[in-house]
């Protein structure tokens, strides 16, 4: 019987980083992916590829993007995103609940991990299309996000797969891990269900990197609460909590925000699970430049509270809590040029009208009279003395409204008007397993390390609470994946 050094469960960004780090340390690595090959990659395949990390200036960016030209540098204000800024964003959006040791590992190791990924052969490029507006002939990045992976999530997964295969890492698809082989003390492998049988595969260490439970409607209702079975799943249909379940079954300690998740405004008529042909296109993230109304015709959230990077991951929950679980995003001609490309896909729930009165009649499920009154009150409250600037939190706000708009407030008065219907799309769940922040080894309910068991990616509990800074998921997966792979290989070498 073949015994592997390291088994990695999953085949997304975190799993590949774990596998490659272990392989670099000399371990014989097997990856087990539940999905068929054409759907491999977990949620990583569905992401747009943005990745958040700390950098002090353009020289740090050129270290991972050596093909960045002098002309691009001259026409772009990349700014900085220091470790201090990263820490501030993490603790602010998680309401200071992010585990400080996990957060420190994430932030301090982010730049080094990016350099390591570049060294593996991952290509990064500036996010000109979604994170920078051109003002006076110069692009300016905002919101702490500057870099994305070439080809987005699909490009990242395909490239990681290519690199892993060339390095001799075996990947088995249609291989669902149903339990851990555990002798009461240490993990010694896994039981795998294939299309024909269930078999034991032995290894000296196991790394679980197979996502949360967002694709499991029953678990969503159990842990997130009533109504969450009505949300759409943005990504992989295979993330049903298997990794969490099998770890908890042997006494692993749960940790983090089990009633919380990353959930966004998602096209109202999107399918139940992610569609690889559309990818991330069902998201609708330009709401800071318009207004959102619910079925009663009223605004229900401060659309301009912050850059969308810091609000989009929590506003999906707010939309789900509205009557009939939907909202409409409203834009007029003044801001249509700011809408992201996802507003232009064919599969979009959209209505247009030359006047607000005609638009009101087309907003399915909305109280038309209330909507017109709401827009009138909103328009009267906009402080037009402050200039609009999409690149910064411009302070152009409303005055006197029960629900303010703190930035980017423009009157809705120039037709034709466009409206987009959104529901809630869940990306990943925040609850996970408790780990040693230096090794990513899983701890048991007595807070003792479980020999032979490590985890990474969305399965790490305690990092995110309530909300999430955009682009941190891929970074977390890479940092803790690399950590888990290195530590697992070291444990093998010690045996």
pTM of this structure: 0.94
Give pLDDT, residue 257. 98
Percent of the chain clearing pLDDT 70 (strictly above): 99
Average pLDDT over residues 33-46: 96
Residues 111 and 88: their CA atoms lie apart, in Å, by 17
Mean pLDDT within 179-198: 96
* Distance of alpha carbon 105 from alpha carbon 285, whole angstroms: 29
- H or E element in which residue 318 lies: helix 312-320
Buried (b) or exposed (e) across 186-216, using 16+ Cβ within 10 A?
Answer: ebbbbebeeeeeeeebebbbbbbbbbbbbbb
* 107-133 residue pLDDT tens: 999 999 999 999 999 999 999 988 888
CB distance 162 to 155 below 8 Å: no
Q: What pLDDT, in 10s, does the model give residues 288-312?
A: 999 999 999 999 999 999 999 999 9
Percent of the chain with pLDDT over 90: 96
Q: Alpha-carbon distance 446 to 453, whole Å?
A: 15
Give the model confidence (pLDDT) of 451-479 as tens digits.
999 999 999 999 999 999 999 999 999 99
pLDDT digits (tens, 9 = 90+) for 207-226: 999 999 999 999 999 999 99
Four-point Cα dihedral 274, 278, 280, 285, nearest 10: -120
What band does 248 get if pLDDT is binned at 50, 70 and 90?
A: very high
**Partners of 198 in beta bridges:** 193
**Which residue shows structure tokens 């969503």?**
220
Average pLDDT estimate for 228-251: 98
**What pLDDT, on a 0 to 100 scale, did the predictor assign at position 134?**
85
- pLDDT, average across residues 229-250: 98
Two structure tokens written together for 467: 């909300």
Q: Would you state the pLDDT for residue 1?
A: 58
* Helix spans in 65-120 (H): 70-74, 83-93, 100-120
pLDDT average, residue stretch 268-292: 95
Task: Indicate whether 2 pLDDT > 80.
Answer: no
Stretch 233-239: mean pLDDT, rounded?
97
Q: How high is the pLDDT of residue 136?
A: 81
Q: Where are the beta strands (DSSP E) in 107-183?
A: 124-126, 132-135, 138-141, 147-149, 170-172, 176-182
Confidence of residue 435 (pLDDT cuts 50, 70, 90): very high
């Amino acid at each position: 019987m073949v015994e592997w050094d390291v088994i990695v469960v999953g085949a997304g960004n975190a799993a590949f980083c774990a596998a490659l780090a272990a392989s670099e340390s000399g371990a014989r690595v097997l990856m087990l992916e539940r999905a068929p090959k054409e759907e491999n990659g977990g949620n990583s395949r569905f992401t747009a590829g943005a990745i958040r990390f700390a950098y002090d200036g353009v020289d740090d960016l050129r270290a991972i993007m050596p093909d960045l030209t002098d002309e691009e540098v001259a026409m772009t204000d990349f700014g900085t995103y220091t470790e201090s800024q990263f820490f501030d964003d993490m603790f602010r959006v998680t309401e200071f609940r992010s585990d400080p040791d996990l957060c420190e590992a994430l932030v301090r190791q982010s730049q080094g991990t990016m350099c390591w990924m570049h060294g593996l052969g991952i290509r990064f490029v500036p996010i000109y299309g979604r994170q920078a507006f051109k003002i006076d002939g110069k692009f300016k990045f905002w919101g702490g996000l500057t870099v994305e992976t070439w080809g987005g999530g699909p490009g990242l997964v395909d490239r990681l797969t290519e690199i892993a295969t060339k390095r001799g890492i075996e990947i088995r698809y249609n291989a669902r891990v149903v339990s851990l082989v555990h002798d009461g003390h240490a993990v010694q492998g896994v039981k795998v269900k294939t299309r024909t049988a269930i078999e034991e595969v032995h290894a000296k260490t196991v790394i679980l990197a197979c996502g949360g439970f967002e694709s499991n409607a029953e678990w969503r209702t159990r842990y997130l609460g009533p109504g969450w079975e009505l949300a759409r799943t943005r990504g992989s249909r295979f993330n049903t909590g298997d990794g969490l379940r099998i770890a908890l079954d042997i006494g692993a300690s749960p940790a983090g925000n089990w009633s919380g998740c990353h959930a966004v405004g998602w096209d109202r008529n999107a399918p139940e699970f992610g569609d690889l042909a559309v990818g991330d296109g069902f998201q609708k993230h330009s709401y800071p430049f318009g207004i959102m109304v619910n079925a009663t015709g009223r605004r229900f959230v401060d659309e301009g509270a912050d850059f969308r990077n810091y609000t989009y991951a929590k506003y999906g929950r707010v939309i789900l809590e509205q009557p009939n679980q939907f909202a409409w995003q409203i834009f007029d001609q003044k801001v249509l040029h700011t809408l992201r490309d996802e507003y232009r896909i064919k599969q979009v729930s959209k209505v247009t009208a030359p006047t607000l009165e005609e638009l009101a009649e087309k907003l399915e499920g909305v109280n038309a009279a209330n909507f017109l009154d709401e827009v009138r009150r909103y328009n009267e409250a906009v402080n037009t003395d402050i200039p609009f600037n999409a690149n910064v939190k411009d302070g152009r706000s409303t005055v006197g409204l029960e629900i303010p708009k703190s930035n980017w407030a423009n009157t809705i008065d120039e037709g034709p008007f466009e409206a987009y219907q959104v529901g809630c799309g869940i990306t990943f769940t925040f609850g996970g397993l408790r780990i040693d922040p230096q090794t990513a080894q899983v701890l048991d309910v007595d807070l003792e390390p479980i020999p032979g068991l490590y985890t990474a990616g969305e399965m790490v509990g305690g990092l995110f609470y309530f909300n999430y800074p955009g682009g941190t998921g891929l970074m977390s997966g890479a940092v803790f994946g690399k950590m888990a792979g290195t530590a697992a290989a070291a444990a093998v070498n010690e045996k």
